[in-house]
Amino acid sequence: MAGLQWVVGLVLIVESLRLALDATAARHFAQAGMPSWMRHALAWSEIAAAILFLVPFTTVLGGYLLLLIFFFAAALHVLHGEYDIGALAVYAMAVLASLAYRSGATLEVAHDRR
């Protein structure tokens, strides 16, 4: 699970850097009618949350921030008629799996014997 957490965190950092710095992403945002500041806000907040997700003492905070950012990004996509949000769903599930594993959550079945 630590490998999953690191892969997701690093992939999110790289993808967010592309969103923040790539001219193609800037054009795509402009064509969708969204302001440039929104692209930067999304990208840099996702980078910050991904870094927090990778630091052991702030993993939970970073994970929840990432989930919030994914929800916001998915809503933006859907509101602009772009329904391909599968990657965001996969990222969200990987973050949830990492958080569940980190919390030591185990499934316990209670056996009631009467």
Count of the separate structural domains present in the chain: 1
State which residues form the domain around 21. 2-102
Contact call for residues 69 and 95 (beta carbons, < 8 A): no
Determine how many CB atoms are found less than 10 A away from the CB of residue 50: 25
Instruction: Give tens-digit pLDDT for 35-72.
Output: 889 899 999 999 999 999 999 999 999 999 999 999 99
d(CA 40, CA 36): 7
| Residue 74 lies inside a defined structural domain of this protein | yes
- Residue 16 CB coordination number (10 Å): 20
What value does the mean pLDDT of the chain take? 88
pLDDT, residue 29, reads: 82
Determine the number of helices (DSSP H) and then strands (DSSP E) in the chain: 5, 0
In a domain, 113, yes or no: no
Task: Find how far residue 28's CA is from the centre of its chain.
Answer: 20
pLDDT of residue 113: 56
